[in-house]
Amino acid sequence: MTTIPSGAARLSSSATRCVFRQHVSSCPASFHVSQQVRRASMKKELPGKKKNDRKHFLVRDLKDAEQFALTDAVQYLRCFEIGKDQQRSKYELHVKINTLKSGPTIKNRIKLPNSVRSDMRIAVICDPESKQGIASRKAGAHIVGEESIFEDVRQGRIDFDRVICHTNSVQKLNAAKVARILGPKGLMPSVKSGTVTTDCAGLIKGVAGASEYKERMGVIRLPIGQLRFTPEQLSTNVRFFLAALKRDIAAMNDSIQKSIHEVVLSTTQGPGISLNGDYRSSQSLREVDFIEKPIPAYILSDIVAFDTSQKSYKPPEEVTKGISKDEEAT
């Protein structure tokens, strides 16, 4: 062990670092290159996520998929809504679009032949004492005003489903700074969405009962009917919506390739059932045969287990309606 002479001066910390840098710089260049190569090879060996180069949203192959006619899908889905409030339970349509991940999306508003929602609350931003304000109330507006609506929004009291703004009140709307609250909820009026107008009363009649739909991640979802709807009413709404959707796709630029890939029907509590485009098939269920015909396994797995301890099972009135006593006895 070497000893420092008592008369020798000690190196300061800065001097020590200087000596160390000189030592490192004197190392051969090949040493540093070999260290870098070794570390780079170690990084390549580490497992990492594979880069997804898919440009289109993933769609499943329908060649071997189990699909149903509309009447069969309706009968199966009603099983999941037994005992539920029919005013709250609704049919919903999911349309899978074959489209690119990047590019414009479909967004529009539609008023179905058989209205799904009739209790829509519409707020009108305009002078409540003006002719437009009075006409808006008569047309069925839930609330009409300017500063009163702005204050309710700031306080978090948003008890309306749509907002319409008169052109004369746009400047006050922008000055109120409520866009950061209404915008994320999809309630901010704009010329692009058609909710800024000079005829508020006329727009209320067009918006009341209408539904908005928007493409998200290659899928468009829309409430298509109430649970009390007949299969005929539901079929009318489905065909009307798909026709409107095809018009939206046709109106786009020719360079944008979009097409309808799959249509799925579901309910509030039920699963999604893929539709084959038919209203009724040759093997479609009759109301009297519905209880006896087996339900597909993937649907049956989601149904709540039936209480087998009961000695008898009484079908709901909606199933047995129209069945004669002779058929019921069999």
Please give the pLDDT value at position 55.
74
10 CA to centre of own chain: 73
Global pTM reads 0.61
Please give the pLDDT value at position 108.
87
Beta bridge partners of 90: 226
- Tens place of pLDDT for every residue, the chain, 330 residues? 555 555 555 555 555 555 445 554 555 554 444 455 455 555 555 455 555 567 777 777 778 788 889 999 998 888 888 877 776 788 999 999 988 888 788 888 888 888 887 677 889 999 989 898 999 888 888 899 999 999 989 988 888 888 999 999 999 988 888 889 998 888 898 888 888 988 888 888 877 778 888 888 889 999 998 888 889 999 999 999 999 999 998 888 877 788 888 999 999 888 899 998 888 877 665 544 444 445 555 555 544 444 434 434 444 454 444 444 444 444
Domains of the chain (ranges, CATH numbers):
70-116+211-324 (3.30.190.20), 122-207 (3.40.50.790)
Please give the pLDDT value at position 247.
92
Please give the pLDDT value at position 94.
94
Please give the pLDDT value at position 325.
45
Distance in angstroms (rounded) separating the CA atoms of residues 82 and 174: 48
User: Nearest-CA neighbor of 242 among 279, 207, 277, 218?
Assistant: 277
Token duo for residue 190: 């704009």
